[in-house]
């Protein structure tokens, strides 16, 4: 079995130093997160600032080559990174989980290496010749969450590095070791100080967002923290990309074959045990197919194993932390008091471990109940019955978030017409949550602003410069 000791030795603080990090499946301590001070963060930003001009001056070809070499380094350590991620985050090795996440890191690095952001000719009319060029912003602060800690770090750092920025990464307090290990591996291929990871407490995150030498903040996390980062940007005028989660609705239309969509619906909702920003979090199903859809989802739930992520059979894991477990538990208990019907699950799976909560399908529930209106970010899905599709569209749009959404049905044109009326950054048809390194991804309303991925993602970590004449 692949050992993660080498990676841990590279990044973990010595015993008695740092903050113990627990495996959410077993409660075991797996390592100690170094706790940087604000002064150490300041020193890291100064190093990144000093390294930036030379990194940008290397040019596109050399930076692309470095990103490809960094992807090679990830591939060479893929199994170790996946095992460390599984132990720290809780997600299983198999399924769309730890190995998949490490593979996505490599894919995103390579795609960004291959992207081109060419200058555009804006006006060329014989009198005026104006071109739009893009250059690096400067130093990018990357602040990430605990649900997809490696993949989201790469979503932030790969385009930023590609454009010639240097990057300071601040991992979530819950998953620092795997992010530190990833950055250590990437740094086998990158010049000194182009990419620095600093793990520390809230003061370190807040300082990174407000630091006068940070030019751009890439943030993925809660809406509350996003608002604080916006406030900080009034001080340093940092440009922001904010990905703040959501409460994605799915609409299942009449005539849908429940059995045919059940697997995709299930994984749309329960990928990473529901701890995914663009997961399906409210499912609106037409009365004519409601019972079939609920039953088909229950069949998939029963057949999908949950448990310790290192067990090759499991594809669902624990909640990553107590805070998230308590949110899910509270929302399900509240749904019960409102008369909702628990189809599967419905109470903690303590026989598996303290932070396990089973797949919980909640039927006969309505808008206004907290499990529908609040982001559960876990394995509990409210399934709401509707009879008029106009009501389902109104329900999908009634909340102040809009990251993703989906429409499911046999008629693609009809589904596309409904998709055009959903207020979210992405609407999928007959699937939910798939992302692609060439397709821009971002939210509207309370889900944040700015997009990641593709050429639009490069523009988000660049500043325009017009050459006129």
Residues that bind ligand NDP (CB under 6 A): 143-147, 170, 172-173, 201-202, 205-206, 209, 220-222, 225, 228-229, 243-245, 277, 324, 327, 375, 377
CB closer to ligand NDP out of 46 and 230: 230
Enter the DSSP assignment of 466. Answer: E
Burial (0-12, 13-18, 19+ Cβ within 10 Å), 303? exposed
Buried b (16+ CB within 10 A) or exposed e, 360-382: bbbbbbebebbbbeebbbbbbbb
| Residues 406 and 434 sit within 8 Å (Cβ to Cβ) | no
Describe the chain by its helix, strand, coil percentages, rounded to 5.
40, 20, 40
314 and 273 Cβ atoms separated by less than 8 Å: no
**CB-CB contact of 6 with 19 (8 Å):** no
Taking the least distance from each CB to ligand NDP, the nearer of 327 and 415 is: 327
**How far apart, in Å, are the Cα atoms of 310 and each of 95, 177, 274, 315, 378?**
12, 17, 19, 10, 20
Q: How far is the CB of 143 from ligand NDP (least distance, A)?
A: 5
434 DSSP 8-state letter: -
Q: Is 292 a catalytic residue?
A: no
Compute CA distances 85 → 22, 106, 429, whole Å.
12, 15, 31
Shortest gap between Cβ of 49 and ligand NDP (angstroms)? Answer: 19
H or E segment and range at residue 460: helix 454-460
Are the C-beta atoms of residues 404 and 251 closer than 8 Å to each other? no
The smaller minimum CB distance to ligand NDP, of residues 150 and 229, is found at: 229
Give me the least distance between CB of 248 and ligand NDP, in Å please.
11
Between 202 and 416, name the residue whose CB sits nearer to ligand NDP.
202
Kindly state the smallest distance separating residue 182's Cβ from ligand NDP, in Å: 15
- Residue (100 or 386) nearer to ligand NDP, CB: 100
Classify 276 as helix, strand or coil. Answer: coil
Tell the smallest beta-carbon distance from residue 400 to ligand NDP (Å): 14
Question: Least distance to ligand NDP from the beta carbon of 259, Å?
Answer: 31
Cβ proximity to ligand NDP: between 220 and 406 the closer is 220
Are 249 and 451 in contact by the 8 Å Cβ rule? The answer is no
Considering the candidates 101, 243, 375, 423, report the single residue annotated as catalytic: 243
For the annotated catalytic residues, the residue numbers are 243
């Amino acid at each position: 079995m692949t050992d993660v000791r080498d990676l841990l030795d590279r990044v973990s603080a010595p015993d008695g130093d740092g903050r113990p990090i627990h495996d959410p499946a077993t409660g075991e301590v797996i390592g100690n997160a170094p706790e940087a001070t604000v002064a150490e963060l300041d020193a890291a930003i100064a190093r990144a600032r000093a390294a930036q001009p030379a990194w940008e001056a290397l040019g596109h070809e050399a930076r692309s080559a470095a990103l490809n070499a960094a992807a090679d380094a990830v591939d060479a350590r893929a199994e170790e990174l996946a095992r460390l991620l599984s132990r720290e985050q809780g997600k299983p090795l198999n399924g769309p989980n730890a190995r998949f996440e490490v593979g996505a890191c490599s894919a995103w690095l390579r795609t960004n290496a291959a992207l081109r952001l060419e200058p555009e000719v804006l006006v060329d009319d014989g009198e005026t010749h104006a071109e739009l060029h893009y250059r690096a912003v400067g130093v990018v602060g990357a602040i990430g969450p605990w649900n997809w800690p490696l993949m989201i770090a790469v979503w932030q750092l790969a385009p930023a590095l590609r454009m010639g920025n240097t990057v300071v990464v601040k991992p979530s307090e819950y998953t620092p070791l795997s992010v530190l290990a990833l950055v250590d591996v990437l740094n086998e291929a990158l010049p000194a100080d182009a990419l620095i990871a600093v793990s520390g407490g809230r003061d370190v995150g807040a300082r990174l967002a407000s630091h006068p030498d940070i030019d751009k903040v890439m943030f993925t996390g809660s809406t509350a923290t996003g608002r604080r980062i916006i406030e900080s940007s009034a001080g340093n005028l940092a440009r922001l990309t904010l990905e703040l989660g959501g409460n994605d609705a799915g609409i299942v239309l009449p005539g849908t074959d429940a059995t045919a969509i059940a697997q995709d619906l299930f994984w749309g909702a329960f990928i990473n045990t529901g701890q995914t920003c663009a997961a399906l979090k409210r499912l609106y199903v037409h009365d004519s197919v409601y019972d079939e859809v609920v039953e088909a989802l229950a069949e998939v739930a029963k057949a999908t194993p949950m448990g310790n992520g290192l067990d090759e059979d499991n594809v669902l894991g624990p909640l990553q932390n107590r805070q998230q477990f308590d949110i899910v538990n509270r929302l399900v208990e509240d749904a019960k008091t409102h008369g909702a019907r628990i189809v599967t699950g419905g109470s903690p799976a303590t026989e598996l471990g303290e932070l396990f909560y089973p797949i919980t399908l909640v039927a006969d529930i309505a808008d206004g109940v907290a499990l529908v209106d609040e982001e559960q970010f876990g394995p509990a899905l409210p399934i709401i019955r509707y009879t008029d599709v106009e009501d389902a569209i109104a329900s999908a749009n009634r909340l102040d978030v809009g990251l993703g959404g989906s429409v499911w049905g046999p008629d693609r044109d009809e589904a596309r017409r409904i998709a055009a009326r959903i207020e979210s950054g992405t609407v999928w048809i007959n699937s939910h949550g798939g992302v692609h390194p060439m397709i821009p991804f971002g939210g509207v309303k309370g889900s944040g602003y700015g997009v990641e991925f593709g050429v639009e993602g490069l523009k988000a970590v660049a500043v325009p410069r017009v050459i006129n004449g």
